[in-house]
Amino acid sequence: MSRTLSRVDQVIHQFDNVLRTLVPGAAAASRPSPATSDIEDGEMSTEEREHAAGLMRINHTGEVCAQALYQGQGLTARLPEVRGQMEEAAQEEIDHLAWCETRLTELDARTSLLNPLFYTASFGMGALAGAIGDRISLGFVAATEEQVGNHLDEHLETLPPGDQRSRAVLRQMAIDEAHHAQQALEAGGARFPGPVKAGMTLMSKVMTSSVKRI
């Protein structure tokens, strides 16, 4: 039987989530990486490896933002079933976080130094959306996952032909993100209008352009 967490327990749990998200190597995937041992990379030049690492750094930071978003929303969501859905989706995003970090290590690259900044901003947006109402909160999830899906499609097109391991990771991530977006809409999430989505796209471009190399 589950028990209600005290305020202190909630603070400890939240701090643990922050550490698992931001500390390198702390995120543990619950599913095996799609980049299985039988998937091997082809030949890649130094420039191609650097380009692939930049894309995977963007995707890793995107997962940091997703974790912060879900954690912020889960903190302020009003309905228990909505909080539960946020927690389930967040666990799959932890998988993505760990997979991207592993792939960056394989490419001899690091995660972005700007992750704490984007985590803080995303947590605040998630908490605000949750406080406004579950319908808006779920709609924000759907719109965000749609944005992430668009980034993944672009990255799959621009990855070097030899980078088969990153490709396997991004394909599974795209499947999961589409599922999260559909779940959020089916749970009653609002469909955001075009201008709102355009603003979100602009913010995501700021993130992608800054973290690719930093």
Which residues are part of a known binding site for Fe cation? 63, 93, 96, 145, 177, 180
Feature table: binding site? 63, 93, 96, 145, 177, 180
DSSP symbols for the chain: ---PPPHHHHHHHHHHHHHHHHSTT----SS--SS-TT-------HHHHHHHHHHHHHHHHHHHHHHHHHHHHHHH-SSHHHHHHHHHHHHHHHHHHHHHHHHHHHTT----TTHHHHHHHHHHHHHHHHHH-HHHHHHHHHHHHHHHHHHHHHHHHHS-TT-HHHHHHHHHHHHHHHHHHHHHHHTT-----HHHHHHHHHHHHHHHHHHTT-
CB 75 within 8 A of CB 8: no
Instruction: Give the per-residue SS3 of 62-74.
Output: HHHHHHHHHHHHH
The token pair that represents 87 in the structure block: 């927690």
Terminus-to-terminus CA distance in the chain, angstroms? 46
